[in-house]
């Protein structure tokens, strides 16, 4: 639970963000998500050059799924550690991240792929109807798109904001063009803090 002092700092931070951004193109339901990402990263580019985009009725679908206790599948533990445990406890969400599982490492070695891809393959049950959140591994996002194309699972919402230099921008472009209900952004920026901030903001909107 936020203290009064902590809440006053957060409120002032949001006021500063609103003042510095000024006019923007986001809807009333979208802006709190984008603002939360800026608050978590101190990076205004998430509303500018590397702007966050919403595809399908992403805010409503994501909030509904989270509130309904849908499982949350993450690419790395850096994302899971930043997702509000209070909200997941209240809504009954299971948070899944298999990237460090021994079986996943063995599968990745056997199939000559990345652990991030193998972890997604091992999580199809939770992905189907769940919320997938990817902040670091473009290969996890590319694997998710392959899973969907093959009809193995389809998430209620995908948050795809992987950071990096290899396939990060391309994987996000593919997500945006996939027809999935999703929240993503352009170019190389992203990361665990941005990904988790989107989930936490969706919980609040729910």
Q: Which of 151, 152, 102 is nearest to 123 (CA)?
A: 152
Q: Determine which helix (DSSP H) or strand (DSSP E) holds 52, and give its type and residue range.
A: strand 52-55
As given in the structure block, the two tokens for residue 152 are: 């193995």
Alpha-carbon distances, residue 115 vs 36, 76, 100 (angstroms): 29, 10, 8
> Cα 11 vs. chain centroid, distance in angstroms?
23
Among 24, 39, 55, 87, which one carries the catalytic annotation?
39
Q: How far apart are CA 109 and CA 102, in angstroms?
A: 11
Q: Assess whether 39 carries a catalytic annotation.
A: yes
Taking the C-alpha atoms of residue 121 and residue 82, their distance in angstroms, rounded to an integer, is: 23
Residues 6+ apart with CB under 8 A from 7: none
Q: 184 in helix, strand or coil?
A: strand
Residues serving a catalytic function are 39
């Amino acid at each position: 639970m936020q203290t009064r002092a902590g809440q006053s700092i957060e409120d002032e931070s949001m006021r500063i963000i609103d003042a510095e951004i000024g006019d923007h193109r986001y809807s009333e339901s979208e802006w709190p998500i984008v603002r939360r990402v800026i608050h978590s990263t101190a990076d205004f580019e998430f509303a500018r050059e590397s702007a966050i985009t919403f595809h399908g009725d992403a805010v409503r679908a994501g909030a509904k799924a989270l509130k309904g206790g849908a499982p949350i599948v993450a690419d790395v533990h850096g994302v899971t550690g930043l997702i509000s445990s209070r909200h997941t406890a209240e809504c009954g969400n299971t948070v899944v991240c298999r990237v460090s599982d021994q079986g996943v490492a063995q599968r990745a070695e056997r199939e000559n792929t990345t652990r991030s891809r193998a972890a997604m393959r091992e999580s199809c049950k939770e992905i189907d109807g769940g919320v997938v959140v990817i902040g670091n591994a473009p290969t996890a996002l590319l694997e998710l798109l392959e899973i969907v194309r093959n009809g193995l699972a389809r998430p209620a919402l995908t948050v795809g904001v992987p950071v990096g230099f290899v396939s990060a921008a391309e994987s996000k472009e593919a997500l945006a063009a996939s027809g999935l209900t999703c929240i993503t952004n352009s170019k190389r920026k992203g990361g665990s803090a941005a990904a988790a901030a989107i989930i936490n903001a969706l919980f609040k909107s729910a």
